[in-house]
Amino acid sequence: MEGEKKEKEKGIPFNLDAEVAYADGSIVSKTLLNRDVGNITLFSFDAGQGLSEHTAPFDAVVYILDGEAKITLSGKPHVVSAGNMLIMPAEAPHSLMAEKPFKMLLIMIKG
């Protein structure tokens, strides 16, 4: 997974969709904000890319910016499309799969 760790400059408006590009056969991430209490990260997933089942110690909000994601949360599959979001509780097993390319904003908040 390609990733950019530099935080986004504060106080300047920007377009989320333009901040992360698709890359052939890859997942790209860009950290916008990273704090002890949580973080905000943009991702793009090319078709066929995904994250295997895992858990996180934070509550997580996934907002789909473009395309469509298959997100399996605690064994239940969900198709989440552009403009929709899913809230995932801390420690809940989840996985993501891009049957088509998609971009998402991930907000993780320590509970």
**Which residue's structure tokens are 């994250």?**
51
How many domains is the chain built from?
1
pLDDT of residue 30: 94
Average model confidence (pLDDT) across the chain = 93
Please, what's the b/e burial string for 21-55 (b: 16 or more CB within 10 A of its CB; e: otherwise)? ebeeeebbbbbbeeeeebbbbbbbbbeebbeeeee
Indicate the pTM of the whole model: 0.88
- Whole-angstrom distance, CA of residue 38 vs CA of residue 110: 5
Q: What is the CATH number of the domain that holds 41?
A: 2.60.120.10
pLDDT in tens, 28-71: 999 999 999 999 999 999 999 999 999 999 999 999 999 999 99
Residue 46: domain span: 2-110
Q: Which residue has the higher pLDDT, 21 or 110?
A: 21
Give the span between the Cα atoms of 47 and 26, in whole angstroms. 9
Give the pLDDT of residue 37. 92
